[in-house]
Structure 1
Amino acid sequence: MLGTEALLCFDLDRYEHSRRRRAGLGAVVDVGVLDLLLGLPPGRPIDRMGLGGRERRAVAKAPPGCLRVDDRSVIRLARPLVKVEVAVISTRGWRRGLEQAGRFAPFCARAIVLDRAPRDLLAACVEADFYGVGLFLAGEGSPVEMLVAPEPCRAARVSARTWWFTEEVYRAHLAECPIAPGRAASSERA
C-alpha cells in the first residue's frame, strides 16, 4: 500500500460491505467517480439535467451499485466503508520507517515497530514524537514496548483522495479475504 508494506488496522462498515456484495460491487478506485459521489447527497435523487459534463461522464463510468440512475435522476448509493485506524510499519531503521510512515499521514495514525533498539534511541523517540508517529520496540523473546504513542489522525473531512485510499484498503481486504463476513475461512476454502 502506497509503495510500502504495512499492517493496516481498520473498521469495516458491515452494512455497506453487504450491500456491495449483493450489488456485485467491489472497490471503487476511480478518483473521478469518487469525486462525483462525494458531491451527491446519499440516498437523495438529484436531477440529471443539473449535472455538468464532468459529472455526467463520471456517472457513465461509475460501476453498477454506486448509483441508481434513471432517465431523470441520479441517487448515490455507495458510501465509504473502511475507516483505517493505524498503519504499522515493521522496519530495521527508524529513519526509513519514519519516511514510510509519512506516506500514511493524510489517512490514519502511524506507528513503527523496530526489532532492536536504535543506536541513538533518544533521537529516534524525539523525531517519532515530532511527526506524531508511534514507536515500538519488539525485541526477540521480550514483550513489545511502546516508546512513543502514535498521534491520532485528525482528518477534517473525506476527500476523493482519502476515499480512494480506503477503497484501495477494501480492495486489498477483498483479495485477502474473499469470503462472506461471519463465515469461517476453512469452510470457504475447503
Structure 2
Amino acid sequence: MLATVPASAGFGVAELQLDIDDAEHERRQAASLGVATGYGFGGLDVLMALPHGLPVPFESLTDHQRAYIRRAPAGICTVADGQVVRHVARPCQVRLATVRAASASQLALGAAEKFTTFCARKVIITRAPTVHYPEKLLEFGYYGIGVCLQHPDGHLETLVEPRPWRTKRHSPEAWWFAETAYGQFLAQQSSPHAPTLSPAS
C-alpha cells in the first residue's frame, strides 16, 4: 500500500511517500498496537538485537534488554517457556521525501537534505530557475536531490532526476523515522482531512 503523509515534527516540511507493510499493519491493528517508538532509540536498539519471529533464550539477554521486554506493550514481543520472540517489524519503508518551494533555493536544498539518510529526495518548485543559476540545479544533482518545476496547469517538468535510494544499513534511527512516518499515516487514517503543508521558501 502506498501512502503520502506529511513529515513529522523535527524533520521539516515535506511530504513522505510510504510503502506500508500490509501484513505488519494488519497485525498491529489486530493487537491494538500503533507506533513502536516507546522508550526511544534504546527500545528499538533492543528489538533490532532480536531476530524477527525466532525464539531467543530470555536469560541470554542483558539486564537492560530484559527490562525493556518486560515493559514492552502487547504486540511487540512475547515471552514463554523461557524464550522471547520479537513479533514487531518495521511498519513501512519511506520511499521519497518531497519538499515544495517557490524556487531552487538554499533553503529548499537544506530542507530536502534532512532526509538524506532515510530516503530519496525531491523538491517541487513553482518558479523556473533563471539562466544565471544553472549551478544551483547542478548542486541539487550533486547531492542526489531531484527538482521538478510545477507549471500553472499542474504539470510537473523534471529538471533533475532524484538519485534512487539504496539502504546502506539498518539502524535504530532509520526504524524510528519509519515509525514516526507510520504514526502520521495512522493519524491521517483517523482524520483524513489533514492540513496542507506550507512550502519551504
- More off after superposition, 16-25 vs 149-158: 149-158
SS of structure 1 residue aligned to 2:190: coil
* 2:125 aligned partner, one-letter code: L
Render the CA deviation track for 1:116-150: whole Å, top value 9, x for unaligned: 11334412210000000001111212621100000
Paired position in structure 2 for 1:34: 44
SS of structure 2 residue aligned to 1:135: strand
Paired position in structure 2 for 1:182: none
Q: Are 1:100 and 2:111 matched, yes or no?
A: yes
Separation in 2, partners of 1:142, 1:165:
30
Runs of 4+ off more than 4 Å:
none
Paired position in structure 2 for 1:74: 84
Structure 2 gap segments, 5+ residues each: 1-7, 193-201
- Give TM-score scaled by structure 2 length: 0.84
Structure 1 gap segments, 5+ residues each: 180-184, 186-190
* 1:177 aligned partner, one-letter code: Q
Paired position in structure 1 for 2:185: 173
Paired position in structure 2 for 1:117: 128
Deviation (angstroms), 1:47? 0.9
- More off after superposition, 114-123 vs 22-31: 114-123
* 2:13 aligned partner, one-letter code: E
Paired position in structure 2 for 1:6: 14
Contact residue 105 and residue 153 of structure 1 kept, 8 A: no
Distance 1:82 1:142, change over 3 A: closer
Paired position in structure 2 for 1:188: none
Deviation (angstroms), 1:107? 0.4
Q: CA RMSD in A?
A: 1.8
Paired residues, number: 181
- Give TM-score scaled by structure 1 length: 0.89
Distance 1:28 1:169, change over 3 A: same
Deviation (angstroms), 1:71? 5.5
Paired position in structure 2 for 1:135: 147
Deviation (angstroms), 1:26? 0.4
* 1:76 aligned partner, one-letter code: R
Paired position in structure 1 for 2:167: 155
* 2:35 aligned partner, one-letter code: A
Flag the structure with more relative contact order, 1 or 2, with Cα contacts below 8 A and sequence separation at least 6. Answer: 2
Q: Are 1:144 and 2:156 matched, yes or no?
A: yes
